[in-house]
Chain A
């Protein structure tokens, strides 16, 4: 199955993310963990936005900002293209 992520990543319950190919580790806050798990399941951006609003009871502007920030950081760390 093809993945959105450039390498194999494992996220623990505590939010500790491990990249198996590089050995790098990251810490995700609850919002990041939620978005990451949605992306892992293959959920598309607009649906993640809706689910974020429901999960954290925030408005669309806040949810969009969180999603955009998270995706930007994933790109910065070269975890996605």
Chain B
């Protein structure tokens, strides 16, 4: 009997969520033996129509509709499909799954996500404090909790500087007009606090990591992005063999006791070659399929960890593997849209 895995984050437009990448890893190198269930939030979450990858699709309520509604919907799906594991892939739903983790486990659904404490310590507003305590280099950062603090932050950090929302969006600012524009834009959309951060001149690297028990580094794939969209998202990247990045990542995971997937954004300063931690995203990156290509299938390892199977740290990722993101059009009959709109579910695999 195969293991059934449900995956969230199915929107896959020009700024894709990680769900489709995670599912492609599960199907790599050979097709996943259990059922793969896509969990979408909207009828037009594009990935839910990829019938080559999915066996079933279900819509679930947005996290802001409350954990009870989401729990009830997941229990309905569980009753239909037997969900063995759920892999959540969005920042915005992590708190909800942390809240539901014990109840889901009791119902027979396993997760492998970082603890509330680990996630909080690396939150953008807390990152500087964490880095200070753990002696990890990070750019000078000021957390602006009141609009009146912006002028002082600009004075202290100087230009160029980054203005960032605590969850989403980051803008490089060259002058005070840029700062005010982006500060107001983020404030209107996401509210305060807003992060003001020093710009480190150098090269940016990302590392997709998986932490095991106590934050042991089980796998890590460092990359350099070689093509960016206008939103700064990678559409091409290459894997690296870089011991300094791995050591830096290992130390961070251990200090955070991070058990789960994450993506680290790291800057190497041009002048000193020193590494600076910019951010930790508490989930797989959208480019996670590259990990499978580099012989580190981290999503498959997450399934084993969720089910409590014994796992070992993976051998180093292969360097020089490249991905290029290629948009494609999926065609689907009207009944697919109809089924999802009316019933909130769609079944690609014929019932046996």
Closest to A8 in B: B241
User: Is B238 engaged at the interface, CB distance under 8 Å to the other chain?
Assistant: yes
Task: Considering the complex, give the chain B residue whose CB is closest to the CB of A6.
Answer: B273
Contact, CB under 8 Å: B240 / A21: yes
Q: Check A10 for interface membership: any CB of B closer than 8 A.
A: yes
B68 at the interface (CB under 8 A from A): no
A interface: dominant SS: loop
User: From B240, which residue of chain A is reached at the shortest CB distance?
Assistant: A23
Indicate whether B320 reaches chain A with its CB closer than 8 angstroms: yes
User: Does the CB pair A22–B320 fall under 8 Å?
Assistant: no
Cβ contact within 8 Å between B241 and A20: yes
Question: Which chain B residues lie closer than 8 Å to A10 at the CB level?
Answer: 320
Is residue A18 within 8 Å, beta carbon to beta carbon, of the partner chain?
Answer: yes
Q: How many A-B residue pairs have CB under 8 A?
A: 27
In the complex, what residues of B have CB within 8 A of residue A21's CB?
240-244
CB distance from A5 to the nearest CB of B (A): 14
- CB contacts (< 8 Å) of B240 on chain A: these are 20-23
Q: Which residues of A contact B203 (CB under 8 A)?
A: 22
Q: Which residues of B contact A7 (CB under 8 A)?
A: 242
B203-242, CB under 8 A of A: which get 1 and which 0? 1000000000000000000011010000000000111111
Chain A residues near B244 (CB-CB < 8 A): 21
CA separation between A7 and B243, bound complex, in Å?
10
B319 proximal to A (CB < 8 A): yes
Subset of 22 A-B contacts with CB under 8 Å: A7-B242, A8-B241, A18-B319, A18-B320, A20-B240, A20-B242, A20-B319, A20-B320, A21-B240, A21-B241, A21-B242, A21-B243, A21-B244, A22-B203, A22-B224, A22-B240, A22-B242, A23-B223, A23-B224, A23-B226, A23-B239, A24-B224
8 A-B pairs with the lowest CB-CB distances in the bound complex, closest first: A23-B224, A20-B241, A23-B238, A21-B242, A20-B319, A23-B240, A18-B320, A21-B240
